[in-house]
Amino acid sequence: MLVAGGTDVYPNMKRRQFEPTVLVGLTGIRELRGIRGSAREGMTIGAGTILATVARHPEVVGHYGALATAAGLVSSPQLRNMATLGGNVCVDTRCNYYNQSYEWRKAIGFCMKKDGDICLVAPGSPRCWAVSSSDTAPVLWSLGARVRLVSAAGERTVGMDALYRDDGIEYLARRQDEVLTDILLPPVDGWKSAYLKLRRRGSFDFPVLGVAVAVRLDGAVVRDARIVLGAVASRPRAATEAAAALVGERLAPELIARVAGLAAGPSKPLDNTDFTHPYRKKMTRVFVARALRGIAGLGDGARSVEEVA
């Protein structure tokens, strides 16, 4: 198993969710670190770049604002100084029945993601519904990012939609022998972006809803748009109908309310993370509206995180 910052791998090993016989450390590979390029020509972020660097890089902050926001909201300051962007893109899916100690899981009965053969959330289901819980994944998707995967056999670049699979266990289309080396951001070309995260604790917590919105404006008119939801399924989920409804229109309050309603359609969270799933679905509508208002410069949209005590 590959390990970068280890902030997900090592806790999972302690709980025996991961039991690799061999760990291959990536930290020593200098070529995996660093941010190159510019917003005008597109940027390349090495997979081994730590999240703290991504969150404060001037070109990222200034032109790919949602990515800086998302990177800066992952876990805690200490972890962001170890954790890498590549590790965040590849981070394991989560579930209340899985992110527990070995003894807890043994007592309740193992599930098919590790050591068992049924799903405890949906016992009749042939698949695992663990939740994609990366903050940066929906943002990178909304920005039109691609990732470079390298193996001894060669290299390929794939879009975020092709990287993620709708399965809680096999959630990545990355082959076992492939290393994710770079995240490629397209030229900014008029796009503006926002990311909002729902979590219980303000200090640190995984997202139980992430809303990434990117809009390409021509004056006041929307030329293109992407809305991608995190933590509502085993992969980030694009709200394509909602995004299409923005194109050719001005970002006015009535349109924002209609689009937010459409975006809640594909938000189908299951009851296997924090908060109730009807609440998380309802908050999708609220967050999409808030993100669009932020991009349009209207009202309360600037808030980037919802913290619930």
Ligand X SMILES: Cc1cc2nc3c(=O)[nH]c(=O)nc-3n(C[C@H](O)[C@H](O)[C@H](O)COP(=O)(O)OP(=O)(O)OC[C@H]3O[C@@H](n4cnc5c(N)ncnc54)[C@H](O)[C@@H]3O)c2cc1C
Q: Which residues bind ligand X (CB under 6 A)?
A: 1-9, 11, 26, 47, 51, 74-75, 79, 82-84, 86-88, 90-91, 133-135, 179-180, 204-207
Q: How far is the CB of 113 from ligand X (least distance, A)?
A: 13
DSSP state string for 84-120: BHHHHHTPPPB-TTTSS-HHHHHHH--BTTBB-SS-S
Q: What b/e readout covers 68-101, taking b as 16+ CB neighbours within 10 angstroms?
A: bbbbbbbbeeebbebbbbbbbbbbbbbbebbbee
Q: How far is the CB of 259 from ligand SF4 (least distance, A)?
A: 30
Answer for the pair 226, 160: CB distance below 8 angstroms, yes or no.
no
Binders of ligand SF4 among residues 268 to 307 (CB under 6 A) are 272
The separation between CA 96 and the C-alpha centre of its own chain, rounded to angstroms, equals 18
Q: How far is the CB of 282 from ligand X (least distance, A)?
A: 21
The Cα–Cα gap between 231 and 238 comes to 12
Radius of gyration of the chain (CA): 19
DSSP 3-state percent helix, strand, coil across the chain (nearest 5): 30, 25, 45
Q: How far is the CB of 5 from ligand SF4 (least distance, A)?
A: 23
> H/E element holding 223?
strand 221-230
The Cα–Cα gap between 261 and 285 comes to 6
- Piece of 36-44, 49-57, 127-135, 294-302 that binds ligand SF4 (CB under 6 A): 127-135
Cα–Cα separations (whole angstroms), residue 178 to 148, 152, 174, 296, 306: 9, 8, 6, 40, 36
Q: Quick one: what does residue 304 bind among ligand X, ligand SF4, none, with the CB cut-off 5 to 8 Å set by partner type?
A: none
- Piece of 41-49, 90-98, 144-152, 171-179 that binds ligand SF4 (CB under 6 A): 90-98
Complex with ligand SF4: residue 18 or 59, whichever CB lies closer:
18
Q: Quick one: what does residue 90 bind among ligand X, ligand SF4, none, with the CB cut-off 5 to 8 Å set by partner type?
A: ligand X
Binding pattern to ligand SF4, positions 96-115, x when CB under 6 A?
Answer: -xx------------xxx--
Quick one: residue 84, left, alpha or beta (phi over 0 = left, psi -120 to 50 = alpha)? beta
Q: How far is the CB of 58 from ligand X (least distance, A)?
A: 21
Complex with ligand X: residue 124 or 176, whichever CB lies closer:
176
Q: How far is the CB of 217 from ligand SF4 (least distance, A)?
A: 39
Q: Quick one: what does residue 112 bind among ligand X, ligand SF4, none, with the CB cut-off 5 to 8 Å set by partner type?
A: ligand SF4
Q: How far is the CB of 169 from ligand SF4 (least distance, A)?
A: 7
Main-chain dihedrals φ then ψ at residue 151, nearest 5 degrees: -140, 175
| 3-class DSSP state of 234 | coil
Q: Quick one: what does residue 168 bind among ligand SF4, ligand X, none, with the CB cut-off 5 to 8 Å set by partner type?
A: ligand SF4
Using CB under 6 A as the binding rule, whether residue 129 contacts ligand SF4 is answered as yes
The correct pick among 45, 83, 91, 128 for binding ligand SF4 (CB under 6 A) is 128
- Piece of 91-99, 138-146, 285-293, 299-307 that binds ligand SF4 (CB under 6 A): 91-99
Answer for the pair 133, 47: CB distance below 8 angstroms, yes or no.
no
Binding residues for ligand SF4, per CB under 6 A? 95, 97-98, 111-113, 119-121, 128-130, 168, 272
